[in-house]
Structure 1
Amino acid sequence: MSSDHRPLASLARELLGHAARPFPEHLDRLVLDGRIIGYLSRRRALALRELLPGLVADHPLGAPTRWSWHAKDLSAGERTQALQRAAEELRSQGLITGWRDERFSYWPEDVASLEAPELFRLERSAFRALGLRSHAVHINAFTPDGRMWCSRRSFSKPTDPGMLDNLAAGGLPSDETPRTCAIRELWEEAGVPAPLAERLTPAGQIVTAQLAGEDWVHERIFIFQLALPESFVPSNQDGEVAEFMLLDEQQLVSHLQQGHFTHEAACTVAQGCVER
């Protein structure tokens, strides 16, 4: 980056200040053992009530309503089975879209380490539909002169098609660590070989949250940074990237200001610039 960081630094602080937007008051609350775990629309809540044993409204239907799932005595595996069956039926009703056949793990927000026992696993698209907090990794990659490699999401992606993203990013599947996920995503999305990807370094965490249509999208993002040699040129392997762009500071600021990046990527880029 250039020696004058004031414009980018100011923009980065603004973006990070709005990373997690206020919880939407109009959405119903999904409660497990006394704690709110998700936010969902009324139509999804009413459908889920018929599909998930032990789910009841805490009070007569108002706006919003707390739906308590009495599953304290269930094991993590039993919760997973019950939720997955319900999610599959919601999908058949058209209330969950973008099905991925990939499961995320859910941990309470006060759990500091992902080595703690998970409460359940669930299809990743259901995390969005039920407003559950998921986990993801994003990698900011810089050239020796400080330019940043970014990608444009495929126009066929189910979420945020055609928008700008980090060099590589992805949701954290069950049974994967943030680091192994980052290394895998670097190869699949940008063709970064493992010996080079192994050089990535942690660059903090952020929590993002926003309303996207009917979905409350809530993520804890593990950020990594990677120094790439001048000669390296990314090459997509999985068909999920339309193109790559190497941006200097002025170009990066312009794209951020115009809202060309996804919300999560913009916040991750901001954090990466602050870390540098």
Structure 2
Amino acid sequence: MTDDIAPFWRHIARCNDLPSPAGFEPFLIGGRQVGWVGPEVLRALTFRPADFHFDARGVSLARRLRTPHARSRALEAVVTDLVRAGLIPRPREELYDVRADPDGPSLATLDRCAVPAFGIRAEGVHVNGLVRRGDGLFLWVAVRAADKSVEPGKLDHIVAGGIPAGLGPDETLVKEAAEEASIPPALAATARKVARISYVMAWDIPGCARGMRRDTLHVYDLDLPEGFVPRPNDNEVARFELWPIEEVARAVRETDRFKFNVTLVLIDLFLRLGLIPPGRGAERLRAGLDQGG
């Protein structure tokens, strides 16, 4: 593979297109920053002065909201306002934890639809489904359903999904593996955590308020038996295909067929496999995979 990293770096650059939070104000809960809010959402929050307070530090949930439950109720109410105003998409009916630190306690929960609007850090799991055969290394690739709201029809991992409130990465992996690919829990539990990837990108949906995606991906390798064939178990995947790893690398290098953040996880895989040769270019790619902090 060529030493030229530009064909891979373009994917990293796409996922890190917000070099500074200029134009966003800090969002705080209990005196600790948990996110960033843009001007359109800020204006909407001024109509709820009992729940949102403004000062030199930014915008904060009211101090009287001392429990995660009370904070979550206040956020749920403003999400309803934002949806009605057309500032965010309709609710996903899936709650995410809101934390000041990745390993800290949950301060509240927020519907997934509003997480970018508040610049809240979201976490997810991505699984490289690997098959080691006599004729080489292969990767199971999912084809996203045509009706997905984000990048329909693009190529994806065999298992990938956001971490819902109350669950951790390992639990989410087992849950998503069963739901998305019919992988038995005992097999899914053999996955090895191999990397963490993060990025910060602008969240721009036509007609909605500008937001900020702050995503952290927990990456796993899962060795699958040659005889195992994944089956879609929900409506998110159209089908699965088994690709030689060299073809996966070529597709990432030369095309945009894979979902935007899947490419980052695959670049990490290529680096670990030596498909991208070591050197200053590889070091730059490695550093670029964790720009979200």
TM-score (norm 2): 0.79
Q: Tell me: CA distance 1:95–1:18, structure 2 relative to 1, closer, same or farther (3 Å).
A: closer
Q: Which runs of 4+ in 1 moved over 4 A?
A: 5-21
- 1:207-249 per-position Cα deviation (integer Å, ceiling 9, x unaligned): 1221131331111111111001122222101010122232223
Moved more, 92-101 or 129-138: 92-101
Unaligned runs of 5+ in 2: 205-209, 274-293
Q: Which residue of 2 aligns with 1:226?
A: 222
Q: Secondary structure at the match of 2:137?
A: coil
What are the Cα deviations for residues 158-216 of structure 1, in whole angstroms up to 9, with x where unaligned?
22222221111111111212111101111111121222212111112111221131331
Count of aligned residue pairs for this structure pair? 263
Structure 1 residues 139 and 52: CA distance shift in structure 2, 3 A:
farther
Relative distance call for 1:187 and 1:23 in structure 2 (3 A) is farther
Partner residue, 2:36: 39
The separation in 2 between residues aligned to 1:239 and 1:185, in whole angstroms, is 13
Compute the displacement of 1:121 (Å): 0.8
Deviation at 1:98, TM superposition (A): 4.0
1:143 maps to 2:135: no
Measure the CA separation in 2 of the matches of 1:167 and 1:242.
11
Q: Tell me the amino acid that sits aligned with residue 22 of structure 2.
A: E
Opposite residue 264 of structure 1, the aligned amino acid is N
1:129 alignment partner, one of 117, 120, 131: 117
Q: TM-score, normalised by structure 1?
A: 0.83
Structure 1 CA distance for aligned equivalents of residues 32 and 166 of structure 2: 25
> Structure 1: where are the runs of 5+ without partners?
60-64
Q: 1:75 aligns to what?
A: 67
> Structure 2 vs 1, CA of residues 94 and 222 (structure 1 numbering), >3 Å: closer, same or farther?
same
Residue 96 of structure 2 corresponds to residue 100 of structure 1: no
Is the alpha carbon distance of 1:159 and 1:24 closer, same or farther for their aligned partners in structure 2, counting shifts above 3 Å? farther
Q: Which residue of 2 aligns with 1:49?
A: 46
Tell me how far apart the structure 2 counterparts of residues 272 and 177 of structure 1 sit (CA, whole Å): 22
Aligned AA (1:260) = R
Partners of 1:171 and 1:52 in 2: CA distance: 32
> What code does the residue aligned with 1:142 have?
L
The 5-angstrom pairing of residues 1-276 of structure 1 reads 20-21=16-17, 22-51=19-48, 53-58=50-55, 66-71=58-63, 74-109=66-101, 111=102, 113=103, 116-144=104-132, 145-213=136-204, 214-257=210-253, 258-276=255-273
How large is the RMSD of aligned CA atoms in angstroms? 2.7
